[in-house]
C-alpha cells in the first residue's frame, strides 16, 4: 500500500506491517487477529488511543458519520446478516479500508465492493 507525503505515514506503515496476518476470532497478535483487535492495535500504536474490544462496543468510541464524510483514520462499521454491527475496519483513502477479514486475514478492501457496500452501516470518527 503506497502513501503520499500528506498521508499519515505511521498509519500506512503500521497497516502494511500487519498485511497477511491470518484472521482468528478472539485473536490479538500476529499469529491471528480479529477485526476489532486489529483496529484497536493500530489505533493504540498510531493515535495512542484505547478503543473498546468489540466492533459493536467501538460504536461508543465514535461520532457516527456518513460514508461521504470518511477521512483517513475513521472507522467503518459493517453489519452481519442479522443486521447487527459485527465488523470494523479503518478508512485509508480513495475508497480503501484496512481490516481483518475472515477469508483473507488482514487486508485492504474497497468500500464499493458489492459485499462491503451491502453490509456498510456507518462511519465513525473517534472522539
**Has 3 been annotated as catalytic?**
no
> Is 87 a catalytic site residue?
yes
Listed in order, strand segments (DSSP E) in 1-127 are 28-29, 32-33, 62-65, 75-79, 85-91, 96-101, 105-110, 120-126
Alpha helices in 1-101 (DSSP H): 9-18, 35-47, 55-58
Q: Which three cell numbers stand for residue 54?
A: 468489540
Identified catalytic residue from 3, 35, 52, 107: 35
Report the SS3 class of residue 80: coil
Catalytic residue among 3, 52, 99, 119: 99
Residue 99 appears among annotated catalytic residues: yes
Positions marked active-site: 35, 87, 99
Amino acid at each position: 500500500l503506497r502513501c503520499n507525503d500528506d498521508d499519515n505515514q505511521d498509519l500506512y506503515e503500521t497497516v502494511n506491517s500487519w498485511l497477511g496476518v491470518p484472521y482468528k476470532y478472539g485473536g490479538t497478535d500476529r499469529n491471528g487477529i480479529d477485526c476489532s483487535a486489529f483496529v484497536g492495535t493500530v489505533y493504540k500504536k498510531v493515535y495512542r488511543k484505547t478503543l473498546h474490544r468489540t466492533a459493536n462496543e467501538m460504536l461508543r468510541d465514535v461520532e457516527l458519520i456518513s460514508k461521504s464524510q470518511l477521512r483517513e483514520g475513521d472507522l467503518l462499521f459493517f453489519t452481519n446478516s442479522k443486521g447487527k454491527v459485527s465488523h470494523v475496519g479503518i478508512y485509508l483513502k480513495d475508497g480503501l479500508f484496512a481490516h481483518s477479514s475472515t477469508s483473507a486475514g488482514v487486508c485492504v478492501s474497497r468500500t464499493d465492493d458489492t459485499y462491503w457496500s451491502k453490509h456498510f452501516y456507518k462511519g465513525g470518527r473517534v472522539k
